[in-house]
Amino acid sequence: MEVVITQTAQDDIRSIRLYLRDRMGKQAAQTFLDTIMVRTGKILSAGVRFSPYLDTPIPEVYRYVPHRNYQIFYRIGNKTVYIMHVLHSRRDIDSLFSGIPR
């Protein structure tokens, strides 16, 4: 099984890194990147053991794992884990998933 970080998730990570760099410095931004990559790798070994995101129309599709003040949202394909989003816990996460068809 492999992990694929979607373009959307890459954009999320990039935005978070820039935010942290501007407010806390380069080291904080690099530490975030390092730890988020380790955490996404752990999804491979845990897979479906992490919670489904129940506030979506199809909760069995999206799962998430917390990482500090962030949530890592992912989907599991046949032999691939797709990292879909990395979002701060205080964001209106439900609105991002409101467009998912039932």
State the CATH number of the domain containing residue 36.
3.30.2310.20
Tell whether 102 is covered by a domain.
Answer: no
Specify if 9 maps to a domain: yes
CB of 64 closer than 8 Å to CB of 56: no
CB 61 within 8 A of CB 74: no
Residue 68 pLDDT exceeds 80: yes
Residues 6 or more apart whose Cβ sits within 8 Å of residue 93: 53, 55, 71, 87
Does a structural domain hold residue 99?
Answer: no
The whole-model pTM stands at 0.78
In the predicted model, what is the mean pLDDT of residues 85-100? 77
Rounded mean pLDDT, 44-54: 62
Domain range for 21: 2-92
What is the pLDDT at residue 102? 40
Evaluate whether residue 100 is within a structural domain: no
Domain count, the chain: 1
- For residue 97, tell me if it sits in a domain: no
Higher pLDDT, 79 or 16: 16
CA 40, chain centre distance (Å)? 8
